[in-house]
Amino acid sequence: MEQRRNKVDETHRGLPSQLTMPCRLLLGPGPSNVHPRVRAALGMNEVGHLDPSFLKIVAESQELLRYAWQTDNRFTIPVSGSGSAAMEACLANCVEQGDVVLIGVNGYFGERLCDMAARYGADVRRLEKSWGEVFSLEEMAAGIQTHRPAILGLVHAETSTGALQPMEGIGKLCREFDCLFLLDTVTSLGGIPVFLDRWHVDLAYSGSQKCLSCPPGIAPLTMNERALAKIGRRKTKVPNWYLDMSLLDKYWGNERTYHHTAPINMNYALREALLLVAEEGLGERWERHQENARILWEGLAELGIECLVDRDYRLASLTTAVVPDKVDAKSVCSYLMENYSIEIAGGLGQLAGKVWRIGLMGFNSRRENVLLLLSALDKAIADT
């Protein structure tokens, strides 16, 4: 008996201390810092996922999401999981074995779309462009004419390169060729202009932890009637139970049938984040992101640092800054973290070691953050 008690005491002595986390300024490619109101929402009382108070706030979130995306799509929901879960939901539902899926690959997330589409049995065709460049409408038209895809997948804001894909005319082309238009808006929603309906986008997804400044773990997804009709024509079951929209639609529709337990508190946080977007107004918010990015770009130029992407296609929410000769990209990142508690990121894939990725997303897109980063970067380059 005595011996046993000792054993229990021993495990107690090994407990870690109460949780505390450092305060970081997250100026990388995401996550971004959470707005204080979003953090407060996250800590509110939990209720059941069929509680009338919960159903009311998710309906409000859906409406706020339609505003943020500029769409009237009925099927507009938050998916449980990060942006990649919503990305996978699009492909799992819309791709059937053998469908030709054409994907614009000019960065890391285009590659991820190819990988996911192939796993769901798509006949993947790639439209390639160097990282940091974007596709012209002529290149898109040629690709669609050659491949006659069932789905065209594009990344609006390539977080790996900092390039912004122009949208003009692409959706119309897809309608002409009877193809669904799938758009990744993870790093654009809530930061730079997005007009889903005007652009004839049929299905789109996003993430919570980029320009919406909400923690990661919940991801917006929207589909119009064209996309839902393709899903309705499926001959086979969606090969992913968790992300099967026909099952999920029964929860989101009037039936409110249990499918899986929604992440309750993440839904509070997302609603608050979307409310902040609506209170500020999309126009104001886009303008703020553009203005702070401009200050960053000018400041970088003064430090002798170039941007990878042409000014015309440069993303306000994420800048890829070219690492100057003889500067070690990693050491600078570590210096910023150790001395300023600022996080920026290095390059992904073929841009590893060549660029820094600097995010000015949502709540973090503020002048004082830009000025602090610029002076910290100046010091980091001098000292490393």
Which residues does 118 contact at the CB level (< 8 Å), separation at least 6? 124
- The residue within the footprint of ligand PLP, chosen from 155, 203, 243, 270 (CB under 6 A), is 155
Quick check: 185 and 206 in contact, CB under 8 A?
A: yes
Query: Given the rule CB under 6 A, which of 38-46, 83-91, 166-174, 362-370 is the region that contacts ligand PLP?
Result: 83-91
Q: Which of 121, 169, 193, 216 binds ligand PLP (CB under 6 A)?
A: 216
Q: Which of 104, 207, 215, 347 binds ligand PLP (CB under 6 A)?
A: 207
**Cα 329 to Cα 323: distance, rounded to the nearest angstrom:** 6
Q: Residue 270 CB, nearest distance to ligand PLP (Å)? A: 13
Site track 86-125 with ligand PLP (rule: CB under 6 A), x = hit:
-x---------------------x----------------
Task: Output 96 or 184, the one with its CB closest to ligand PLP.
Answer: 184
Least distance in angstroms from the C-beta of 130 to ligand PLP: 17
The window from 10-18, 81-89, 121-129, 139-147 that contacts ligand PLP (CB under 6 A) reads 81-89
Q: Which stretch binds ligand PLP (CB under 6 A): 57-65, 70-78, 79-87, 327-335?
A: 79-87
Nearest approach, Cβ of 295 to ligand PLP (angstroms)? 22
User: Using CA atoms, how far apart are residues 86 and 75, in angstroms rounded to an integer?
Assistant: 13
| Candidate list 187, 224, 267, 317; residue touching ligand PLP; CB under 6 A | 187
| Residues 235, 96: Cα–Cα separation, whole Å | 8
CB of 142 to ligand PLP, least distance (A): 24
In sequence order, which residues have a C-beta less than 8 Å from that of residue 205 and are 6 or more positions away? 79, 83, 86, 87, 89, 90, 184, 185, 186, 219, 220, 221, 222
Cis peptide before 31 (omega within 30 of 0): yes
CA distance 44 to 264: 10
Contact set with ligand PLP (CB under 6 A)? 30, 82-84, 87, 109, 155, 159, 184, 186-187, 207, 216
